[in-house]
């Protein structure tokens, strides 16, 4: 039995008190992973951005809004966990300046300067202790496999799930699960439940090598 932390869903980055940048992530992959992990007997904590789905009642669910809030929750929880599965699609950019008042239209184009948000998986993975592991996801439109391996190394992940844009806000997924040495552990196409079961199976091996 392991303590598994899962990030799930999108995050929001505000321009002003009412407008924000985000993406169409539904949280369904994180939901399916939480179900599969609970079924395998693990303790599960989900840190989720705003979603309209429900997580299993047996999971501890922490709701956050922005990438920074998700990062802070993960950094607080990760030390007491055995592993992290980063299934969230955090908003990668944030406005350089956030207006405290609602931006008023003035008939002119609105120019936004965006800066990168913190990378949650990479920041948490940098704090990994010997027994801890991190599974990342890579969503790529081109060179999926190669880019996923590069991303796995850059973010210090122990396993990477490579998927395409069809995964976003969909009931199904088509993934390649990659080990840290770049070998393919599995190719899975199907419902997010089927994909989650395969990811959990591969994670079990990771848990065994770390303990
Ligand atoms: O967006 P990208 O394809 O780089 O995401 C790869 C992995 O990094 C995913 O597991 C995602 O949850 C994670 N990520 C993150 N923080 C970000 C961006 C991505 O944890 N700001």
Q: Which CATH number is associated with domain 3-93+114-210? A: 3.40.50.10300
Binned at pLDDT 50, 70 and 90, residue 181 comes out as very high
pLDDT at 210 over 90: no
Sheet of 60-63, strand order: 60-63, 43-48, 3-8, 83-86, 133-139, 159-163, 172-179, 184-191
- Choose which residue among 12, 46, 88, 118 to substitute to test ligand 1 binding: the one with the highest number of ligand atoms within 8 A of its C-beta: 88
Q: pLDDT per residue over 49-99, tens digit each?
A: 999 999 999 999 999 999 999 999 999 999 999 999 999 999 999 999 999
Which pLDDT belongs to residue 126?
Answer: 97
Q: Could you tell me if 118 and 67 are in contact, meaning their C-beta atoms sit under 8 angstroms apart?
A: yes
Atom of ligand 1 nearest to the CA of 91: 21
Which pLDDT belongs to residue 60?
Answer: 98
Distance from residue 91's CA to the centre of ligand 1 (Å): 9
CA separation for the pair 72, 46 (Å, rounded):
13
**ipTM score assigned to the predicted complex:** 0.89
- Choose which residue among 137, 145, 153, 161 to substitute to test ligand 1 binding: the one with the highest number of ligand atoms within 8 A of its C-beta: 137
The residue nearest atom 4 of ligand 1, judged by CA position, is 138
Q: What percent of the chain has pLDDT over 70?
A: 100
Distance from residue 38's CA to the centre of ligand 1 (Å): 23
What residue has token string 């303790």? 43
Which pLDDT belongs to residue 158?
Answer: 97
Residue 211 tokens read as 């303990």
Q: pLDDT per residue over 159-178, tens digit each?
A: 999 987 777 778 888 899 99
For range 124-131, the mean pLDDT: 96
C-alpha distances in Å from residue 4, one per residue of 11, 38, 107, 211: 20, 9, 50, 14
Distance from residue 105's CA to the centre of ligand 1 (Å): 33
Which pLDDT belongs to residue 164?
Answer: 79
Q: Any idea where the domains of the chain sit in the sequence?
A: 3-93+114-210
Which pLDDT belongs to residue 170?
Answer: 80
> pTM of the full predicted structure?
0.95
Atom of ligand 1 nearest to the CA of 92: 21
Which pLDDT belongs to residue 141?
Answer: 87
For range 40-50, the mean pLDDT: 97
Beta strands in the chain (DSSP E): 3-8, 13-14, 20-21, 43-48, 60-63, 83-86, 93-95, 114-116, 133-139, 159-163, 172-179, 184-191
Phi-psi map region of 143: left, alpha, beta (phi>0 left; psi -120 to 50 alpha): left
Atom of ligand 1 nearest to the CA of 139: 3
Which pLDDT belongs to residue 35?
Answer: 98
Q: Could you tell me if 1 and 82 are in contact, meaning their C-beta atoms sit under 8 angstroms apart?
A: no
72 is catalytic: no
The residue nearest atom 5 of ligand 1, judged by CA position, is 138
Q: Could you tell me if 196 and 186 are in contact, meaning their C-beta atoms sit under 8 angstroms apart?
A: no
């Amino acid at each position: 039995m392991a303590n598994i932390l899962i990030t799930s869903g999108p995050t929001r980055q505000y321009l002003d008190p009412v407008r924000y940048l985000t993406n169409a992530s539904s949280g369904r992959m994180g939901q399916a992973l939480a179900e599969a992990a609970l079924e395998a007997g693990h303790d599960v904590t989900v840190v989720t951005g705003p979603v309209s789905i429900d997580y299993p009642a047996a999971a501890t669910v922490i709701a956050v809004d922005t990438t920074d809030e998700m990062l802070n929750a993960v950094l607080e929880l990760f030390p007491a966990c055995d592993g992290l599965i980063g299934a969230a699609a955090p908003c990668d950019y944030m406005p350089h300046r956030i207006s405290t008042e609602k931006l008023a239209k003035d008939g002119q184009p609105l120019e936004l300067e965006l800066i990168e948000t913190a990378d949650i998986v990479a920041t948490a993975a940098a704090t990994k202790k010997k027994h801890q592991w991190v599974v990342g996801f890579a969503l790529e439109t081109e060179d999926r496999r190669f880019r996923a391996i590069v991303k796995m190394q850059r973010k210090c992940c122990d396993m990477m799930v490579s998927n395409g844009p069809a995964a976003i806000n969909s009931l199904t997924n088509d993934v390649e699960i990659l080990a840290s040495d770049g070998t393919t552990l599995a190719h899975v196409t199907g419902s997010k439940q089927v994909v989650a079961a395969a990811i959990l199976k591969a994670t079990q091996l990771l848990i065994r090598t770390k303990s």
